[in-house]
Every structure is written in structure tokens, then in C-alpha cells.
Amino acid sequence: MIEISSVSRSYGAFKALDNASLSITKGEFFSLLGPSGCGKTTLLRMIAGFDTPTSGTISVDGQPMDGIPANRRPTNMVFQSYAIFPHLNVAQNVAYGLKRLRLPSAEEKRRVEEALAQVSLSGLDARGATELSGGQRQRVALARALVMRPKVLLLDEPLSALDKKLREQMQVELRRLQQAVGITFVLVTHDQYEALGMSDRIAVMFGGRIAQVAAPKEIYQRPVNRQVADFLGGMNFVKAEIVEENAASITVDTTGFGRVRTDKPQAFVRNGKAATLGIRPERLRVLWDDATSPHEVSGKVVDRHYFGEITHLIVEVPGLEKPLSVSETNNFGADDIPVGAPIRLAYDPDALVAMAD
């Protein structure tokens, strides 16, 4: 549905986007994820037609978009600071873009009502735009885009102005809406949970470059490098040396975890012999009493942080430069393990991931 080929955007000497290539499939919920300033909005604006690549091409639905203005593209964008018109009521806000199509008024009314139903705002047609909650305003902005029946809906941090509870609720609704209407969604976010929870696939971006494109689970479990791993949740990094590498797997030597063979992440590009072995804090499990595991490391608890449903244990392991961070649910008393206590940790070798340095 969207084909981005070697697209760059420079502002003077500064490259906001650097040679990005990406294919987004029809009906996909696709997210652009990355820290502030990495070029997410820049890319989205070029898909929408509000900005032009310095080089490279963008096609939407098989059509090259060069020279095609925003209002003639099969896309519609919901902006980072969603602007709904304060002097118009809900129905007028939603109908705004439709005016240009000069539809018979009954047809226009029907489409507005359909769009309001899609975002669960039926019955609020006559409400003034200033008499709405933040979440309702967000829905109006969505309805205003949906009413145009775009092939692609571009959403730039649409939920960032909402509080945590409402944001989580809207995430579920947005996903359900996307599945119901079947439109291709491209969502920009810097929130890893939002991207992981909603997307079919995610592109992780840093400094104008796309670092990895994959499904949420692959991105989380097989990050291609430390930067991606670090951006998506906690990760323990252990120094490693590459012993062997083939198309599907990679073998590394470490102190602490010994020799490890793991699946190779997509797009893994080695950089000499040095690599890093990663393990997520929740993939380390406390071994209680006499329990054993074929794969364990032992050490000493040096710190403990209580977070309600989980406890973070900081565990020093001989041979490792940095202590391991262990995230343990508070079912079994991890919150009572004293600092200074010896501890054994089990892990599944499949949870270890080799990353390029």
C-alpha cells in the first residue's frame, strides 16, 4: 500500500531522514517508533504530502506521489496536536473535509453519522467542540479523518495528550476500529507499549535512520542492536565475542553465561568479533530452595526495588562487569529477599539474544 524507496529529507546540512526504505502492506497497522527528533513526523508528513523528499520516492496504492498535493492523495492525517475547530460543533467538525465533495446533504449526514458511530460518539453531533473531554476531542479528530474514507490513515502521536487510563482505553479502541474499517494505519509514537500493543509491525527509528522493521514480538525478543534493545524495555547487556555465525544462528562466548548459540535477529550486521548478549530482566527467574535448572547463574542480591506487582532485584554475578537486573512478580516473596542474600537464577537459553555492537 505504501512503498518508501531510499527517501531522505535534509534541512540545510542536517539530515532529518536518511535513506529510509519501507513497505507497508494493505490493511496493516504499522507503527513508526523512536525517540523525540528521530524523524517520525518528517516521514509521515512526506507520505501525507505536506512535505517533499529531498531524494527518493514514495508510492501509495501503486501510484508515485511526486507532485501530488496532500488533498489529492488517498491518505488522511491526524496531527500530533489535533486541531479541531472550536467554533464548530461535533458534526460540523467531522463534515468539514466533506464539503469539498459537494455531496447531497442526506448523504453527507449519513457519512458523518457513520464516522461518529465508528468512534463511539453517536448522539453528540450538536455538542460544541469546546464542550468535550480530551478523549472525545481525539475521537472527533479521528472521525474527521475517517469520514473521508482514506485508503491510508496517518496518525501522529494521536494519544499523547491523554492521561494514562484513557490512553490505554483509546489504544484498544483504535485497534478495534482499524480492524473494523480495514484501512491501513500508520501510527507515529515514542511509546513502546503503544507500539507493541497495537501494531502488526513496527519500524524503530534513531537519528533519521530505520534500525529495524519487524513484528512486535520479534522487535522485543530479537532486537538487532543495543540501541533498539534499550529503547524497548529493560535489557541486561553482557559482553560477548562472536565464535561462529551462519544464516540462521550465531554463537558467542561470554563470561557468566558461557558459550551461547541463538537465533540470529533479522538484519543482524556484525561489526568485527565483538557483540553483546542480551537478556530481559523478566526472563531471569529466581530459583528457590533446592530447585535447580539446567541453565542457571548464581550471585548475590545487592539492591532491591519494590514496584507493587513486581520487584526488581539487582544481582551481582562473578565474571559479569555489570550486575543483572531481575524482574520477578511478587507471587513467591521476591519482595522479601534480603539485600546481601545469595541467589540463583534460571534462564531459558532461547531468551538470550546476540546483538551487534
Ligand X SMILES: Nc1ncnc2c1ncn2[C@@H]1O[C@H](COP(=O)(O)OP(=O)(O)OP(=O)(O)O)[C@@H](O)[C@H]1O
List interacting residues with Mg ion (CB under 5 A).
41
Residue 295 cell numbers, joined:
541453565
Q: How distant, in Å, are the alpha carbons of 7, 58, 86, 137, 184 from that of 63?
A: 16, 8, 36, 33, 16
Hey, how many other C-beta atoms are within 10 angstroms of the C-beta on 199? 24
CA angle 6, 41, 226 (to 5 degrees): 70
CB 151 within 8 A of CB 183: yes
- Going by DSSP bridges, is the β-strand pair 342-347/353-356 parallel, antiparallel, or unpaired? unpaired
Nearer to ligand X, 16 or 345 (CB): 16
* Among 13, 36, 100, 180, contact with ligand X (rule: CB under 6 A): 36
Query: Residue 192 interacts with ligand X (CB under 6 A)?
Result: no
Residue 190 engages ligand X in binding (rule: CB under 6 A): yes
Q: Which residue among 20, 38, 159, 277 contacts ligand X (CB under 6 A)?
A: 38
Residues 40-79 that bind ligand X (CB under 6 A): 40-42
Report if residue 213 touches ligand X, rule: CB under 6 A.
no
Q: Of 1, 4, 7, 16, which one interacts with ligand X (CB under 6 A)?
A: 16
Say which entry of ligand X, Mg ion, none residue 299 contacts (CB below 5 to 8 A, set by partner kind): none
To Mg ion, the closest distance from the beta carbon of 46 in angstroms equals 13
Which element (helix H / strand E) includes 327? strand 324-329
* Residue 158, binding choice from Mg ion, ligand X, none, Cβ under 5 to 8 Å by partner class: none
**Dihedrals phi, psi of 244, to nearest 5 degrees:** -155, 145
Distance separating alpha carbons of residues 277 and 260, to the nearest angstrom: 9
If the CB atoms of residues 108 and 156 are measured against Mg ion, the closer one turns out to be 156
190 binds, among ligand X, Mg ion, none (CB under 5 to 8 A by kind): ligand X
Q: Which residue of 25, 26, 37, 52 would you call a contact of ligand X, by CB under 6 A? A: 37
Query: What is the three-class DSSP state of 316?
Result: strand
Considering CB distances under 5 to 8 angstroms, the limit depending on partner class, which of ligand X, Mg ion, none binds residue 265? none
The residue ranges that bind ligand X (CB under 6 A) are: 11, 16, 34, 36-42, 190
